[in-house]
Amino acid sequence: MPKNRIIGVFDSGIGGLSVAKAVEAALPQHTVLFRNDAKNVPYGNRPPAEILPLILPIFQSLIDDGCDVIVVACNTVSTTLIGPLRESFGVPFIAMEPMVKPSAQLSTSKVIAICATPTTLASRRYAELKQQFAKDLTVIEPDCSEWSTLIERSQLNHETIAQQLAPALAAGADVIVLGCTHYHWIENEIQDIVAGKAVVLQPEPAVISQLIRVIARLP
């Protein structure tokens, strides 16, 4: 009988809860522990040096509670601090970062839109992903800087989202990447806005596939 594993899922706010629920649905034989930082959310406009001391105690609490593997369901943390986290803790980490490679492979117009936080967009890791996989594409980065805060407050509305996605759609973007787990909560809204003009990508299925592979390798 497969061993029950404890899977930690972390995000700055409620965004990662969608990831935790997806993991629970896909892997019901395992236990999922979700942690966030409701006191300091959102992280998307904070520098990494300010975020690190906020998250270390939270990750330590997941380790203390017996987590065998941890999903970092925060693109901002994954693209800026996954190295220090892996150095600090002795369990496997699964990072979530903008799906630049899949979107580049999927696009036929060679125009993609990456919806992500300012800190993610400014990260070295994101620059590497664009250089490696999207250097021959036009990459549009809509202003989503307030989305996480508005989602946390349930204040984001259809008109705001449509207005901020309009330039990307007008430019011919045929793939829209949700590069922040907060945005998963408005995925259906975004699908309605793009009305079939673009494919909307978010990484939950890919993360679950990677999680299954990692768990299979655990002693």
Report which DSSP code applies to 182.
Answer: G
Of 95, 92, 59, 93, whose CA–CA distance to 74 is shortest? Answer: 95
CA 219 – CA 216 distance, rounded (Å): 8
Q: In what side-by-side order are the strands of the sheet with 138-140?
A: 138-140, 111-115, 175-178, 199-201
Give me the catalytic one of 67, 74, 115, 144.
74
Of 99, 73, 72, whose CA–CA distance to 83 is shortest? Answer: 72
Verify whether residue 144 is a known catalytic residue.
Answer: no
Verify whether residue 74 is a known catalytic residue.
Answer: yes
Beta strands in the chain (DSSP E): 6-10, 31-35, 69-72, 93-95, 111-115, 138-140, 175-178, 199-201
Give me the catalytic one of 67, 115, 144, 180.
180
Of 219, 214, 190, 192, whose CA–CA distance to 202 is shortest? Answer: 190
- How far is CA 149 from each of CA 156, 180, 183, rounded to the nearest angstrom? 9, 12, 11
How far from each other are the two terminal CA atoms of the chain, in whole angstroms?
14
CA 179 – CA 203 distance, rounded (Å): 8
Catalytic residue list:
74, 180
